[in-house]
Structure 1
Amino acid sequence: MVDDESRPVVEAIGIAKRFGPTVALAEGNLTVLPGETHALVGRNGAGKSTLVGVLTGLLKPDAGEVRFAGRPAPPLGDRVAWRQHVACVYQKPSVVGELSVAENLFLDRQPRGRFGLLSRSRLRRTATDLLESWAVPVDPDTPARELTVEQRQLVEIAGALSHGARFVILDEPTAQLEARAIARLFDRLTDLQRQGVTFLFISHHLPEIYEICQRVTVFRDARHIVTAPVAEMNHAKLVEAMIGDARGLVQVGQDRPSVPASAEPVLTLDAVGVPGFTGPIDLTVRQGEIVGVTGSAASGKRQLAEAVVGLRPRTGRVRVADAAVKPASVPAALRAGIGYLPADRNADGFVPGLSVAENATMTVADRLGPAFMVLPRQRDARGRKAIADLEVHTAGPHQPVGELSGGNAQKVVMARALARDPRVLVLVHPTVGVDVRSKESLLGVVDAETRRGRGALLVSDELDDLRVCDRVVVMVAGRVVAEHPRGWDEATLVAEIEGIGEKDV
């Protein structure tokens, strides 16, 4: 007789799922072995999210079955039983910010004292024991809203393990982490593996697959393509399995013409500071130029971008061409000719219940009809043009953006940034959490738009994003410490981002 410890932790066998006419999964197969970290990769729309929904009991498959340790999965309505088998830590937080860590850990099963009343002392003691048992260094009394992304993920993992699950799905866990935090997270995952925890690791950042995973499964076009040991899948093979040919990320903009020093400035920062984060910083973006800004999560790069577009107060002066931009005013930034793509598309980039056309035209609603009226015909025409220009894969301008894959949703956010025909684009992490082809497409848009005479300030710590830039400045602790022209050395840039051997420019 085969014992549970030698059986696969989870098996998805022949999973099929449709949403109306859309085939979300046709041949979804996955086998995860005990104690491994197993990668699940594929382009946006490959079927990964649908499979996760089935594996966690949130979606009922039209065909196929899920088995845990060789036994059929529980009925969909039995959430307690599902939590004993599997948990998922999503890219978007699932903690309640106004509650403490302890309250979040036992949100639906608070310890009770005499007369069945909530016992805060038992709650804190039980939470402390749980956090200590899984070596999560977080005070149980801390409000969840004060947790870092790294801490929040560890708390969610601990909470999942407290239900009895020893299989945890990690959905893009590193997307919002800087390098040091990623290293710490990987150390914790390795420790948890030694304690018998199994992980399904979903990431678009392929180097992480080789660092942390033992086996990898690739989905493409809603189907299982291959499962193999990571050691047997080099980068070319992995990309070929994901996209159907051996071509990796095209080096977008590799033939970009050099921008002359005499080119007109389209964005100028004079002694710009963001209280508590950056400054003073001087920076110029010329017509036709892409200037990259990089640094760790604590460098202040994102706060600087948000100040430029009016989302934060600032000191100093920001000018678009020769016109000064009023501080802390998003409308003023839009009128001046700044287009903005925010760091978190889910929180700040789009309204999921609104259509592609409505999201793409939010910044030009005043131009879609007489007397500030929005004429649906004009809105939809602009939506169709954005779909064609940015190659958005959608059923049409009326489809809600919340139904699109991450890469296509990001293209809609890019369309909104371009809608007012801006002089300069401010782009923050423009390719975070999107697949290889979407990344290539989005960077191609930036390249093409700047060749037409716009400027771009591209804020990112993704090296693929930075390679399209004409020059890159590095920020550490709120100030610029280095600047590099195209062709920078990767090791040098990464060392500067981490604050190793920094020097003032």
Structure 2
Amino acid sequence: MTNEEQATVVEATGICKRFGPTVALDRAGIAVRVGETHALVGRNGAGKSTLVSLLTGLQAPDTGRITFAGRPAPPLGDRDAWRRQVACVYQKSTIIPTLTVAENLFLNRHDRGAGGLIRWGALRRSARELLATWSVEVDVDRPASELTVEQRQFVEIARALSFGARFIILDEPTAQLDGTGITRLFDRIAALRAQGVTFLFISHHLQEIEEICDVVTVFRDARHIVTAPVAELDRGAIVAAMTGEDISLTGDTHRAPPATDAAVRVVVRDLVTASGAQASFEARAGEVIGLAGGGASGKFEVAEAVVGLARPTAGTVTVDGRTLRRGSVPDALAAGVGLVPQDRHRQGLVPLLSVAENVTMTVPDRIGRRGLLSPARRDAFARRFITDLAIKASGPQVPVSDLSGGNQQKVVMARALAGDPKLLVLITPTAGVDVRSKQTLLGVVEQVRGRGSVVLVVSDELDDLRVCDRVLVMVRGRVVRDIPSGWRDNDLVAAMEGVDLDHV
């Protein structure tokens, strides 16, 4: 084994990975050295999540090589061997809330005595010793449901270290933390590094990378673009690597804003979400507004509060003079709000129902009479959307579960349009769809705009935001910029990262 291999915790070279026709990684790679905190950044779809799944043994690369300290990665089936090499603390916690801290730390590894009975005293002692070793101050008898986000992360890190791994992947670890929590997390990372732990740090916030990381790797469009010490790669260069644009390139043609005398149709005033995100804005008839930001920006929370999926703690949403009832989807629908939610599988579709049933779910008054639904009228209503949105289905009676992802998203869009909305809220509307479906979905925005309705596009995908008259950029729960159309890709990405390119 060479000295270079000994100094490398993990190295991936020539990695290719496909999912059907989608190229998730194309000859990509990364090398993380012992003792460093290595940042991995890139736009959505750059290949970061796929790389993590390969580095943690959840999937195998189609081609390429992964080594740990110069030795080949374990077989996929040997989970214990993988846990000794690497662990990932995901943005979505894997802690089981109904169990205690001690039970979570040694899940399926309980200390058992005679007859196979769990030795609870020994389990709690082992848990206290483990947390003390890594300076995690949490009561092992406490139910995990009572832990803060920050405490859950520390427990997950301790659990990972208990398997013997000294390489930890942190996936958007600050997304749900406030400023004080972030500071404590960074202090804990520094302390663990001093104890010989190496980190791969995935984040959308470049200022965090400058503060905590030694080296940064940028992925774009499934490929490795650059790896360099953070001190040698300024923010402008990182943003340029993420977008593929030189900093001097111009962006889109400026779009004329709605007439200043156009009626104000939507007013969001002093809205405060349960997570603490805040927003206020007005939208005129025919205006398309973007709401953009990184993982912890609060854009999704604001959007869900606007449409009634979540109950805000303060503020009002008014549509055409009608103030919506907080946290009420039925009231939002009655006021003329249409929604394409972030998660079409969980929030947007009933898979076992037909296309027609899904499309007309929110407009029973349009397909029935005297309280009775008319199947013929329902199917005719749905056929119009099947044609208009080019939904590939043999008929309105086809179960939605039989459709491709792009066509399922079109069904969700059709339902949002079924009530002729005054306000159409699109949350990541083109996620996971092909180019042709993306064009169809975004083409709807022009049609809705033309009718004088308001559209709110909530996304960090640049193609989604190009249709907007202006983009409100959120960083850590606050709207920090209002950018008119005509922006350069670099400028908008930098704003979402909390970077002012004029001062870098």
TM-score normalised by structure 1 residue count? 0.69
With 5-14 and 363-372 compared, the bigger mean Cα shift is at: 363-372
Secondary structure of 2:164's aligned partner:
coil
> TM-score, normalised to structure 2's length?
0.69
Tell me, yes or no, if the aligned pair for 2:277 and 2:476 is still in contact at 8 Å: no
Matches of residues 69-88 of structure 1 in structure 2 within 5 Å?
69-88=69-88
- What per-residue deviation string (whole Å, max 9, x for no partner) do you get for residues 139-160 of structure 1? 3233333333333222211111
How far apart, CA to CA, are the structure 2 residues paired with 1:382 and 1:130? 60
Alignment of 1:400 with 2:405, yes or no, is yes
Q: Following the alignment from structure 1 to structure 2, what is the Cα–Cα distance between the partners of residues 302 and 248?
A: 34
Contact 2:340 2:412 in 1 (8 A): yes
Q: Which residue of 2 aligns with 1:205?
A: 205
Task: Give the whole-Å Cα distance in 2 for the aligned partners of 1:457 and 1:69.
Answer: 49
Indicate the residue corresponding to 2:311 in structure 1.
312
Distance verdict in 2 for CA 1:451–1:375, change over 3 Å = closer
Name the aligned partner's letter for residue 308 of structure 2: V
Q: Comparing 61-70 with 235-244, which one deviates more in the overlay?
A: 235-244
Q: 1:336 matched to which residue of 2?
A: 335
Q: Map 1:48-447 onto structure 2 (within 5 A).
A: 48-247=48-247, 257=257, 260=260, 263-267=262-266, 285-287=283-285, 290=289, 302=301, 306=305, 309=308, 311-312=310-311, 319-323=318-322, 325=324, 328-340=327-339, 345=343, 370-373=376-379, 381=387, 384=390, 398-400=403-405, 420-425=419-424
The offset of 1:32, in angstroms, is 0.5
The answer to whether the 8 A contact 2:298-2:474 is kept is no
Q: Which residue is 1:40 aligned to? A: 40
1:62 and 1:192 map into 2 onto residues whose CA distance is 34
Answer whether contact 1:288 1:455 (CA < 8 A) is retained: yes
**Displacement of 1:339:** 3.3
Q: CA deviation at 1:321?
A: 1.0
Q: Deviations over 1:234-259 (max 9, x none)?
A: 23332333333325998889766487
Unpaired runs of at least 5, structure 2? 368-374, 393-401, 433-438, 485-494, 496-504
AA matched with 1:151? Q
Note if contact 1:423-1:454 (Cα within 8 Å) is conserved in structure 2: yes
Deviation for aligned residue 1:31: 0.8
Report deviation, 1:138.
2.9
Letter in 2 for 1:126: S
Return closer, same or farther for 1:165/1:414 CA change in 2, 3 Å cut-off.
Answer: farther
Q: SS at the partner of 1:201?
A: strand
Give yes or no for contact 2:291–2:299 (8 Å, CA) kept in 1: no
Offset of 1:80 from its aligned partner?
A: 0.5
Cα deviation 1:248-294 (Å, max 9, x = unaligned):
9988897664874x653423579999999999x99865435659899
Q: Contact (CA 8 Å) 2:349, 2:358: kept in 1 or not?
A: no
Q: RMSD value over aligned CA atoms?
A: 5.4
Partners of 2:183 and 2:249 lie apart in 1 by: 25
SS at match of 2:8: coil
Query: 2:16 aligns to what?
Result: 16
Q: CA deviation at 1:135?
A: 2.6
Structure 1 stretches lacking a partner, 5+ long: 387-396, 435-440, 488-493, 495-505
CA distance in 2, matches of 1:135, 1:211: 22
Deviations 1:49-90 (CA, angstroms, capped at 9, x unpaired)? 222222111112222221111111112111011100001112
How far did 1:422 drift?
A: 2.6
8 Å contact from structure 1 (residues 215, 228) kept in 2: yes
| Pairwise CA distance, 1:45 | 2.8
AA matched with 1:122: A
Change in CA separation of 1:212 and 1:252 when aligned onto 2, cut-off 3 Å: farther
| Aligned AA (2:285) | Q
Report the CA distance between 1:136 and its aligned residue. Answer: 2.6
Would the aligned equivalents of 1:111 and 1:118 in 2 still touch at CA under 8 Å?
A: yes
Change over 3 Å in CA distance of 1:223–1:417 after alignment to 2? same
Distance in 1 between the 2:345 and 2:18 partners? 27
Counterpart contact for 2:258–2:284, Cα < 8 Å? no
Q: CA contact under 8 A between 1:38 and 1:199: conserved in structure 2?
A: yes
Q: Deviation string for 1:338-382 (max 9, x for gaps)? A: 23466x649965569899x99996876868984445998666546
Q: Partners of 1:58 and 1:13 in 2: how far apart? A: 17
Fraction of identical pairs, as percent? 48
Amino acid at match of 1:138: V
Letter in 2 for 1:312: R
Displacement after TM superposition at 1:166 (Å) = 0.7
Equivalent residues of 1:360, 1:383 under 8 A apart: no
Q: Structure 1's 379 and 293: CA in aligned 2 closer, same or farther, altered over 3 A?
A: closer
Distance 2:390 2:444 in 1: 20
Aligned-pair CA distance for 1:93: 2.3
Q: Confirm or deny: 8 A CA contact 1:349 1:413 kept in the other structure.
A: no
Structure 2 letter corresponding to 1:50: T
CA contact (8 A) 1:291 1:473 kept: no
Determine the structure 2 residue equivalent to 1:438. none
Alpha-carbon separation, structure 1, partners of 2:271 and 2:240: 45
Bigger shift: residues 148-157 or 102-111: 148-157
Amino acid at match of 1:339: G
CA gap 1:208/1:111 in 2 versus in 1, 3 angstroms: same
Cα distance in 2 between the residues matched to 1:350 and 1:85: 39
Give, in angstroms, the shift of residue 335 of structure 1. Answer: 3.1
Spell out, residue by residue over 1:290-342, the C-alpha distance to the aligned partner (whole angstroms, 9 max, x if none): 59899xx9999948952752643989986421446456531331232223466
Aligned length: 454
Q: Which amino acid aligns with 1:222?
A: A
Task: Give the superposition deviation at 1:98.
Answer: 2.0
1:176 counterpart letter in structure 2: Q
The code of the aligned residue for 1:71 comes to: R
